[in-house]
Structure 1
Amino acid sequence: MTVREIRVDQLGAGVLLDVRSPNEYAAGHLPGAVNVPLDELETAAARYAGQDVVTVCHSGARSLAAARLLDAAGARVQSLAGGTEAWRQAGHPVETGH
């Protein structure tokens, strides 16, 4: 399946899954996002089966890879185009810390 990319203004309900490293996540992430680094996602993907998930990274590349893993595990998944950078550029706040 082809994973759907969404724009910041299309962000809706669902689990926000930030797939960056813990340090990148702590430096600034979308409010309410959960951090599961991409290199740990394969073993965690099954827990999101049947859920609506939006994957997020810095610019959108890692989140697409994560979305494909989650799609294969049965999640209803979308990837945030432009990632956290697009979110910031749209003027939205980020949270810091873990």
Structure 2
Amino acid sequence: MITKLAITDFTPSQELNIWDVRDAKSYATGHIQYAINHPIDTLNDTLLAQTTGDIYVLCGGGTKAKRACALLDELQPNRKIIHLTGGTRGAKAAGMPIIEEA
């Protein structure tokens, strides 16, 4: 089941499964706190089986995250998938902390 949540209404937490589905290079240039990089081409049943609870999905702006949500929903229709609309760019514009890796 896919739901949407604006990134500006979201509070990142270590306890949440926050998946940034961009490639590793894009992720390293800036991502929200507690987001884990799971590029869209790595999403599969095995990864889902290793994860419990809801999954919050975002990318840079929303296009890739939308596709990733659809894929995850197809793999596990009973899992709650939350599309964080606005993505990392929206988070940055709203003044949320962005983590940059060297």
Length-normalised TM-score, structure 2: 0.81
- Say whether residues 1:77 and 2:81 are aligned partners: yes
Who is 1:8 aligned against?
Answer: 7
Residues 17-55 of structure 1: per-residue CA shift (max 9 Å, x gap): 000000000000010101010111135543366521110
Percentage of matched positions with identical amino acids: 28
Who is 1:65 aligned against?
Answer: 67
- Say whether residues 1:93 and 2:92 are aligned partners: no
**1:81 CA drift (Å):** 0.8
**1:4 CA drift (Å):** 1.9
Provide the alpha-carbon RMSD of the alignment. 2.1
Aligned residue pairs: how many?
A: 97
Q: Contact conserved, 1:29 with 1:94, CA < 8 A, in 2? A: yes
Gaps (5+ residues) in structure 1? none
Q: Contact conserved, 2:8 with 2:91, CA < 8 A, in 1? A: no
SS of the equivalent of 1:20 reads coil
The structure where strand makes up a greater share of residues is 2
1-structure distance, mates of 2:84, 2:46: 20
Which is further off, 57-66 or 8-17? 8-17
Gaps (5+ residues) in structure 2? none
